[in-house]
Amino acid sequence: MTNKEIISASIVFVKETLKGAEGGHDWFHIQRVLNNSLLISNDEEVDSLVVSLGALLHDIADAKFYNGDETVGPKLATDFLTSIAVDQKVIDHVVQIIENISFKSSLEKNANPFNSLEFQVVQDADRLDAIGAIGIARAFNYGGFKNRELHNPDIAPDMNMTKEEYKKSTAPTINHFHEKLLLLKEKMNTETGKRLAEDRHQYMLAFLAQFDQEWNGRV
Over its length of 219 residues, how does the chain's per-residue pLDDT go in tens digits?
899 999 999 999 999 999 998 899 999 999 999 999 999 999 999 999 999 999 999 999 876 767 767 888 999 999 999 999 999 999 999 999 999 998 766 665 555 567 899 999 999 999 999 999 999 999 999 999 999 999 999 999 998 888 888 878 899 999 999 999 999 999 999 999 999 999 999 999 999 999 999 999 986
pLDDT of residue 165: 85
Which domain range does residue 12 map to? 3-215
pLDDT of residue 61: 81
Return all residues near 66 (Cβ < 8 A) that are at least 6 apart.
72
Please state the domain count of the chain. 1
CA angle (206 as vertex; 148, 155 as ends), nearest 5: 35
Tell me how far apart the alpha carbons of residues 217 and 29 are, in angstroms, rounded to a whole number. Answer: 34
Tell me how far apart the alpha carbons of residues 104 and 161 are, in angstroms, rounded to a whole number. Answer: 9
Tell me how far apart the alpha carbons of residues 149 and 16 are, in angstroms, rounded to a whole number. Answer: 32
Q: Other C-beta atoms within 10 Å of 14: how many?
A: 23
pTM for this entry: 0.91
What's 22's domain CATH number?
1.10.3210.50
pLDDT of residue 81: 98
